[in-house]
Copies of this chain bind each other. A is one copy, B any other.
Amino acid sequence: MGSAPPQLPSIEGLTLENITETTKLINSQCPNPRLRYIMERLVQHVHDFARETRLSSEEWMIGLNFLVQTGQISSDVRHEFILLSDTLGLSMLVDGINHPKPPNSTEGSLLGPFHTHDAPTLDIGANMSNDPQGEPLLCICTVKDTKGNPVPGVKIDIWETDSSGHYDVQHADRDGPSERCVMISDEKGRFWFKGIRPVSYPIPHDGPVGKLLEKMGRHCWRPAHLHFIFQKDGWDNLVTALYVRGDKYEKSDAVFGAKEALTIDFTTADAAIAKEYDYPEGGLLLVQDFILTTQAQTDKLRDDLAVKAIKQLGLNLKLVDHLPVPDVD
């Protein structure tokens, strides 16, 4: 970076009218076509945003200071920009673009900031909760493909809050994982585990994102839910969650994760279930199928949707490694 390439585009005649094209021209030096395209779109949208709002110098400074604060409150266990993305609906949009689902498969939802990599791998049927205050819950699940065949050997990450609405990592005195585990689906695609009834909770709202939500007149609550990640080679990673019907925030999740297709009803264990699963009769029960798609199914669907979107937008792009870049041929 020590000296200027001699043939740089000139910014000599810079005006309010040509600054967007000039910036894009300077950025067109970028050797990576994908980064070049991303930055071209970024500059266009950032400039359009300023033009359409006639952004004042004071608002500009407030915005930049908000971004500094959002970075500075972030840490190893708190990613305030993910939270911002979540509250702007961006996270769900990016998930939807990257993991499109055919109608008969399980939809994705937010990963959120509370997944960890230290959850213990437990035997099927184990209890993952250490919270005596929580109402016990038995979940009996099956993993299937879109034709209804069981998918064995799937690694499933499961996590939820304790009964106070906090994940284990939110407790300063955490001495190990709790309310989280990893299981592997059996030869019939089944797994079952014992947890507790999930509860609604506020997202962290003592930082810049919480303050923004307050100014927006929005609340900061998530409806009660259970998190899942399904992973197996050859299959599209499924990051999802199940939301409890009837929750006060069922239809107003602060981070747009909840949706009808992922909303569940609890039942209670009858005598047969109680006996088979060593669980109290009348105890809270969830019976749930998860439908996975193969990597090939998802790749094809994602490409098809990308091509369709590009066409709708009238952009001259081609897909390279499933990602659009300008088609200059």
Chain A: residues with CB nearer than 8 A to chain B?
A: 1, 3-5, 8-16, 19-20, 22-23, 26-27, 29-32, 35-39, 41-43, 45-57, 59-60, 64-65, 67-72, 74, 79-82, 85, 88-100, 202, 205, 210, 213-221, 248-253, 256, 258-260, 302, 306, 309, 313, 315, 322-324
In the complex, the answer to whether A29 meets B216 with C-beta atoms within 8 Å is: yes
CA distance A42 to B3 in the complex (A): 36
Q: How far is the CB of A323 from the nearest CB of chain B, in Å?
A: 6
Q: How often does this chain occur in the complex, in copies? A: 2
In the complex, the answer to whether A13 meets B309 with C-beta atoms within 8 Å is: no
Q: Which residues of B contact A221 (CB under 8 A)?
A: 3-4
Q: Which residues of B contact A39 (CB under 8 A)?
A: 216
Contacts A67-B71, A95-B57, A98-B57 known; A89 to B23 CB distance under 8 Å? yes
CA distance A31 to B216 in the complex (A): 7
A-B contact pairs, 17 of them (CB 8 A): A1-B214, A4-B221, A8-B219, A16-B93, A16-B97, A19-B256, A26-B256, A27-B216, A27-B218, A52-B309, A52-B315, A54-B323, A56-B323, A57-B95, A64-B81, A68-B70, A68-B71
In the complex, the answer to whether B4 meets A210 with C-beta atoms within 8 Å is: no
CA distance A30 to B114 in the complex (A): 28
Give the 7 A-B residue pairs with the shortest CB-CB distance, closest first.
A71-B71, A23-B89, A16-B96, A29-B217, A8-B252, A10-B251, A45-B45
